[in-house]
Amino acid sequence: MNNLIDLAHFSRLISVASGHAVDPDDSETLVGAFQKFRPSGKSLEKVFERAPCGEAIMERLLKVYETTGEARRSDGMSDAFFIVRNPAKIDPSEALTIAKDFFGQLHQLALENNVAELNSVLNPLPTIRIIEGKAPKHPKADLEKSALLQAMQKQAPALIDRFLGNLERSEQQNPQKEFAQFLSPALYFVACDPFLRDYLLWPLVAECSALDDPFESYFWLWSKGAKYRIFNNDQIDLYFPRVF
């Protein structure tokens, strides 16, 4: 790509467009900026126009805006994060197929990055159940968590950092790596979700993997309001607010 903008230019553009001051030397200042572009996100397109992989990232961001819509709730308050309030009904068999694909892709990512613990707990793939209803809470104490849950909460979200480390090194800072590191905190706080963050960041690290788009199936699950819950090493429960 020619004429790529640097972080300083990107920060100026998004600061002006959002009214949210962003410092190119502090990625934490970008947190909350994407919320300023709700509901459509369309005015972000000019900001990402000449950013590394900007078109591909923008395409994914627009899907998030489209899925969540207005931030304002019926009680007059506004969501601080991008929350799927009215997900479409799902076909349980389709959801199961897509869930198996996502967890299978995580296993492949673990193999690519030699993450032994995550590889172990996902091979063979645990039983996956599709459940309608409100998801119960995970245990908070590590001693009460299964090895599968700990791997999903610790090793799986760190996979993207391994890809960032694998981006081609040169005498100058790699612009894709630089942008990915800068965007990462803010994209996590879009929905406080590491896998949605990784879906949005994937175009910047895709060249480091043989996999096509391993988080695409997760976006489908997220867009339908799915939440995974794990209470032992043999089973993953996916809770959906609307099934039939």
* CA–CA dist 201, 190 (Å, integer): 12
Q: Is residue 91 part of a domain?
A: yes
| pLDDT, averaged across the chain | 93
- 1 occurs within a structural domain: no
Phi, psi of 92 (to 5 degrees): -55, -35
Cis amide linkage into residue 39, ω under 30° from 0: yes
Cα separation, 155 vs 34, whole angstroms: 27
What's the domain count of the chain?
A: 1
Closest CA to 234 of 157, 110, 149, 142: 149
pTM listed for this prediction: 0.94
Task: Report the pLDDT averaged over residues 148-169.
Answer: 88
Q: Which of 131, 120, 191 is nearest to 155 (CA)?
A: 120
**21 domain residue, yes or no:** yes
| Across 217-241, average pLDDT | 97
Is 61 a residue whose pLDDT tops 90? yes
Q: Which of 97, 98, 117 is nearest to 107 (CA)?
A: 117
How buried is residue 136: exposed, middle or buried, by Cβ count under 10 Å (0-12/13-18/19+)?
A: exposed
HSE-CB at 178 with a 13 A cutoff on CA atoms is 17
The string of pLDDT tens digits covering residues 86-121 is 898 999 999 999 999 999 999 999 999 999 999 999
Range of the domain at 18: 7-240
Residue 98 lies in a domain: yes
Domain membership of residue 2 (yes or no) is: no
Domain assignment present for 176: yes
The pLDDT confidence band at residue 125, using thresholds 50, 70 and 90, is: very high
Does 58 score more than 90 pLDDT?
A: yes
Q: Which residues pair with 227 in a beta bridge?
A: 239
Give the residue among 99, 80, 97 at the shortest CA–CA distance from 239: 99
* Whether residue 171 has pLDDT greater than 60: no
Q: Per the domain annotation, does 234 fall within a domain?
A: yes
The residue assigned the tokens 């690290």 is 205
In a domain, 17, yes or no: yes
